[in-house]
Every structure is written in structure tokens, then in C-alpha cells.
Amino acid sequence: MSPNEKRLQKVLRDEQSVNRLGIPVKYMCLSLMCEHHKSLHGELLDISEVMEIYKLESVPEDCRCGITQILMDETGNPRTPEIVEKAKSQARG
Ligand SMILES: [Zn+2]
């Protein structure tokens, strides 16, 4: 199984777990190492956006992005804003 395939499957598994529990989440890109998606580093994406960007039909084979699940609170803000902030400040260099 390719790394891209593994990544997508993990995201789908994670999504199913939180769906069952009714927990709102977004997905943060860790893409400083990826030439194709550097500008996405620290961005919070919906599952549908993740599926679109990282679908196997079109994602570059040498994509090096990591995708991590971020739990959201009732008001739609990350429960761990410091993690998101840290990624964003890395992106700013
Ligand atoms: Zn990438």
C-alpha cells in the first residue's frame, strides 16, 4: 500500500470514529515537507476538502503531507488552538 493510500485510510478511520461519537473535528495539514502543498501547512480542512486534495487519483506520488485530526468545540474553534497556532507560525517561518 502506498503512503498516500495509508494516509487516506487512516483519515477515514479517524473520521468514522469521531462520527460515531458525534465529535466535531477538522483536519490540519502538516505540509512544510511537501513541495506540492506547502501553502496548506497549518490550514484546517473539512473531511470533504481532505478527500478532494488527497484523493489517490490526483495527489502527487511524492506528496509528503501529514494530516492530523483536530477536535473542535461547540463554537467551531479548535480545542487545542496552541497546536494550530504553532503550525501556522512554522508556516510563516
Ligand atoms: Zn502534499
The H or E element spanning position 52 is helix 47-53
Rounded to the nearest whole angstrom, what is the distance from the C-alpha of residue 36 to the centroid of ligand 1?
A: 5
Q: How high is the pLDDT of residue 34? A: 96
Is 93 a residue whose pLDDT tops 80? no
Rounded to the nearest whole angstrom, what is the distance from the C-alpha of residue 55 to the centroid of ligand 1?
A: 11
Per-residue pLDDT reduced to its tens digit, 19-78: 999 999 999 999 999 999 999 999 999 999 999 999 999 999 999 999 999 999 999 999
Rounded to the nearest whole angstrom, what is the distance from the C-alpha of residue 65 to the centroid of ligand 1?
A: 4
Rounded to the nearest whole angstrom, what is the distance from the C-alpha of residue 27 to the centroid of ligand 1?
A: 14
Q: How many CB atoms lie within 10 A of CB 49?
A: 15
Considering the entire predicted model, what is its pTM?
Answer: 0.92
Q: Using CA atoms, how far apart are residues 63 and 25, in angstroms rounded to an integer?
A: 23
Strand order in the sheet with 66-71: 44-45, 25-30, 66-71
